Structure 1
């Protein structure tokens, strides 16, 4: 009997069906060992991690040991990324395997699995070291800095993260840029020629160093122009190639934009599709496809009569891409629908369209641009206008699906151009405008990030890697540092998130800087390539943290002090909306209403002359007037609530003891 150990239990059934008799398939259910929960688990100067079985790992290892004892050979088939390589290494160590065979496959198909078994290898210890470096770096920041945040920010229970904190900072800085933004009112002019329009080129009329036209009277004079002649009429064809197949980050972005799926839900659905054998491995930063995939695509395109590109398309991966395996694609292109849930089916459709569409012919547009000049000058300057029309003349890949990479602004511009049928005109031709109007415009503040846009920004800055984006989103939301706006679309920082970032920035921790975080990711890549060492990377961060903790700033004056005890007040969300609570809870139970994101007016507490007969603490009057159908209340309760639930009726403004 041969034993294959995979990560996910969801893969077992499919792989057993493929391998047949003489094979056993078991799952590690992810990591079986980790650093200890109640201690850092790593110390200078050697930084050798101390690993212990996880709670779930204890039972898993006991089960796997029995399976190993029955096996003639053990194959470690954990995932292809660094986490998977590390899990394979931990299994080897924990199960004391002498000569396990490491096998890797990017898809759960008979061809891929049998090819992997035929060409086993050893565990890639360089990848293991890179994963270990990431885990230990995160542990150092969490255990060394988080306990000090309470002193810096005046609140217990706050946490710092090597990648989590820079992500929150991105959201916070965008929010503050929005709050500080002051819109500029500016103007333009547009002439109408029946079914099409032309816009005034304001550039020659702008004072030096000015980006926008602020003179509405000048725009009014231009809008009155009626007689013009044609300077030039340019006609050309523009083509637009399809986007690349999905990598992990672009899959999360497209699923967020088109399917309104959160990154975590996207990766869970993709994991299931992978386990069911429908798609290739979903953690990758390589946008290119294998030769086998290209052959399948051409066969499907021929069968469907879809227009194929003449030469196979390839894409250049970003500079720090690991390119471990190909892009995310269907394992069988002839299958157009797959998945067990509506989310899985919708995600599979996206993957199928992007992977198939990437090898279709480009879409083509007929573009006509006309430049006009007014017969009369204005203040001695020529007055020019531009009209542009754009029409789709050949669908190409767009016959398969609509573009999911365009921004809202790009879509609106394409729509405007498509609805502007500029006619063919000859240079020197005279024409009269039928209408003219002033365009009143206003500069817009930068927009908040959606989850998809934040992932794109993290990728641009080099913060995190494909396997970490969903976890980053989950962490910053679950810890209450970032939340969705009322519409549920955009991300906004919470007061707590702002407090944490300000404390870290003011204390000049280097890990909060984008360049530092990006550099650490690059250094981990070097470890994975064998060009740097685990200890070298970890020691740099440890030394930096020790120095920075030595000169950290402790802010003794919180931004919103509690009116009763002076400790920091924090904005919180309860069942009835936002309110402000004291960080000194449970010792201080003061709460204040929320007034536009700031603490509302403090109502002095009424304290009884007689202490609580149950525990000796102060009795406080709880009073609220009736509003409409909602009943009010008036009673005296112990200030030690919830430890003490003593409660007394109010009679004549005093507790009835």
Structure 2
């Protein structure tokens, strides 16, 4: 009998099948096979046991009525393969989500003792090493992932109806999506409330033996302070710019080193791909998944910027071939306190391969990953730094001495920058010479060639881009590497709470503002600090220091308490038809009341001073003496008051094909004026 290895993607299965050969069948689960039901919360107190269902098929775009098969069909096929196998190995992705998929496969396929294997890269060596050292499914990781899914579902199902009631429109809340929208709304309000401060500085320019250089006026602490940091007297600044000469107080020549950044984590990969390639986080992850499945890169969902020690020799070989110098010691980069650091950084699997992937987009992303991974272990760039402190007498008697600083640096050794040449971002590129300050001596007097007033103003904070918002989410501890792209997908195209303006900047929509305002001050989960704490509790489940039921139960109790307080302050009106609560809804600028049991109950009532009014029946149409302006037949007056009401005239010859209609204007049809 053959052994069965189950991975997630068909592409990965095809690659690995070629390595293992006879005696093995490699099959794909195609990702998740079970989830909570689509039409209910799927989990209840007090045991909080999730109710899982197979994932239904979805419609094929452009193919009317045709659907992709659901996971039930996939599982049935995998079951036949598992029944024929002598042993089953589950090789889903090496993270909590992958561990959860393996557990769902075990349950759905009724496997008694499957072997769990993981590999952070798709290479023959890594795959065969993993198969030689299988383990059992880590139920702590499964519990952590299950808790994440259940917490998200509870927030969505328990809070969204109340948020909709508060906002008067259909809205949804999310455990991680709502804090993300809150950040965008908060930034937009900072921008709207920003008032620029106009202030002034001075730059004095000098002619050097080789090239010109400059010094800047230091306004603090003599002409400004930390409490009032801006100098705002333009007339005085103009007189400072007219100073004819400066005296050198001190001069220092030093060397500064600049180290390379670490290899890519999920967040830094998404940010770099956004800046340099114009990819959204979702697109970046899609391309990276394809590169991983084909064995070109190591696992891309990681928050660890360090490469493994095993690849240092590979980097050294590539560096030697390219004429690049390695760092004296292997570099270790700081890992954030919230990082799981379970996998090394995202790197190529074959360091000598300069180009990999299918299509220009995959190839470009692969090159970005490879260059960054090589550069992280190269030697520092070095700069010669000249710093001079200079002074001059003030243009007014009794004012403090004017102090200036000139700082310049010249690149003396490229180090890792040699590999990054041509990079057009501020992160990895500096001009080779900036303000080449010459060697000076204390007491030297230098003549000013020209002076200029620097007219400045404080700037409002910038709107987030998708990449910078992902970075902020990571800094705030909201979500994890596997969730960032999904958060962006949810708040932008799916829910429409955030929109992209000027091709890259994020701005909240009115719906986004409404959902944040409905949540703030009422529900604690919208605050980043709460979400960060919840992520830490999920980590504790994964590490065995807390339990699924404990964490889920605490959030459930907190939500129930907050919901009770909010609902106590909401007006309570019951639907006379089904007994469920009515909610006030605003649509197209008009308010009305609708049953919360919609779509089963379609009761609507007019809004009268913020309360549901009496249901007004539709009035029978009345044939009038007004004639249709198109065919001459009598017009019919049609009216309905209240929610969804109307008042207009239409042609009685509708069935004969005349669809002419007119608005009611003071009791008469509003005929269009003849041209």
Give 1:144's match in structure 2, choosing from 143, 158, 162: 158
Give the superposition deviation at 1:525.
0.2
Q: Does 1:480 align with 2:496?
A: yes
TM-score (norm 1): 0.85
Q: Does 1:397 align with 2:397?
A: no
Q: Secondary structure at the match of 1:551?
A: helix
Confirm or deny: 8 A CA contact 1:608 1:654 kept in the other structure.
no
Q: Secondary structure at the match of 2:591?
A: coil
Q: Does 1:496 align with 2:508?
A: no
Give 2:439's match in structure 1, choosing from 419, 424, 430: 424
Q: Does 1:456 align with 2:459?
A: no
Give the superposition deviation at 1:563.
8.6
Q: Does 1:107 align with 2:132?
A: no
Q: Does 1:299 align with 2:313?
A: no
Correspondence for 1:69: 83
Q: Does 1:167 align with 2:185?
A: no
Give the superposition deviation at 1:34.
0.9
Give the superposition deviation at 1:376.
5.3
Deviation digits for residues 375-396 of structure 1 (CA, Å, limit 9, x no counterpart):
4574341111111211111110
Give the superposition deviation at 1:295.
1.3
Q: Does 1:388 align with 2:386?
A: no
Give the superposition deviation at 1:652.
8.2
Deviation digits for residues 71-97 of structure 1 (CA, Å, limit 9, x no counterpart):
111000001010100000011011110
Deviation digits for residues 448-505 of structure 1 (CA, Å, limit 9, x no counterpart):
11111101100000000000000000000021000101x1111000000000000001
Deviation digits for residues 235-263 of structure 1 (CA, Å, limit 9, x no counterpart):
11111100000111111111111111000
Q: Secondary structure at the match of 2:407?
A: strand
- When residues 234 and 567 of structure 1 are mapped into structure 2, their CA distance, relative to the original with a 3 A threshold, is farther
Q: Does 1:189 align with 2:190?
A: no
Gaps of 5+ in 2: 57-69, 572-582, 594-601, 606-620, 625-633, 652-656, 663-667
CA–CA distance in structure 2, aligned partners of residues 563 and 104 of structure 1: 53
Correspondence for 2:563: 549
Q: Secondary structure at the match of 1:439?
A: strand
CA–CA distance in structure 1, aligned partners of residues 622 and 216 of structure 2: 74
CA–CA distance in structure 2, aligned partners of residues 83 and 297 of structure 1: 31
Q: Secondary structure at the match of 1:4?
A: strand
Q: Does 1:214 align with 2:229?
A: no
Correspondence for 1:226: 244
Deviation digits for residues 273-301 of structure 1 (CA, Å, limit 9, x no counterpart):
01111001111112211222111111111
Deviation digits for residues 70-126 of structure 1 (CA, Å, limit 9, x no counterpart):
111100000101010000001101111011111111111110011011001000000
Correspondence for 2:218: 201
- When residues 372 and 646 of structure 1 are mapped into structure 2, their CA distance, relative to the original with a 3 A threshold, is farther
TM-score (norm 2): 0.83
- When residues 521 and 381 of structure 1 are mapped into structure 2, their CA distance, relative to the original with a 3 A threshold, is same
CA–CA distance in structure 2, aligned partners of residues 319 and 343 of structure 1: 33
Deviation digits for residues 185-216 of structure 1 (CA, Å, limit 9, x no counterpart):
00111111132111111111126721100111
Give the superposition deviation at 1:9.
1.4
Q: Secondary structure at the match of 1:566?
A: strand
Aligned CA RMSD, in angstroms, stands at 2.9
Gaps of 5+ in 1: 569-584, 589-606, 622-635, 639-644
- When residues 382 and 560 of structure 1 are mapped into structure 2, their CA distance, relative to the original with a 3 A threshold, is farther
Correspondence for 2:135: 121
Deviation digits for residues 323-369 of structure 1 (CA, Å, limit 9, x no counterpart):
22211000000001101011101100010001111111011111111
- When residues 360 and 562 of structure 1 are mapped into structure 2, their CA distance, relative to the original with a 3 A threshold, is closer
CA–CA distance in structure 2, aligned partners of residues 39 and 560 of structure 1: 23
Correspondence for 1:566: 591
Correspondence for 2:451: 436
Deviation digits for residues 40-63 of structure 1 (CA, Å, limit 9, x no counterpart):
111111111111111221011111
Deviation digits for residues 218-241 of structure 1 (CA, Å, limit 9, x no counterpart):
211211111221111211111110
Q: Which moved more, 1:396-405 or 1:528-537?
A: 396-405
Confirm or deny: 8 A CA contact 2:622 2:637 kept in the other structure.
no
Q: Secondary structure at the match of 2:537?
A: helix
Correspondence for 1:363: 381
Q: How many positions carry a matched residue from both structures?
A: 595
- When residues 608 and 446 of structure 1 are mapped into structure 2, their CA distance, relative to the original with a 3 A threshold, is farther
- When residues 612 and 101 of structure 1 are mapped into structure 2, their CA distance, relative to the original with a 3 A threshold, is farther
| 1:32-47 alignment runs, 5 A limit | 32-47=33-48
Correspondence for 2:520: 505
Confirm or deny: 8 A CA contact 2:5 2:24 kept in the other structure.
yes
- When residues 338 and 586 of structure 1 are mapped into structure 2, their CA distance, relative to the original with a 3 A threshold, is farther
Q: Which structure has the larger Rg over C-alpha atoms?
A: 2
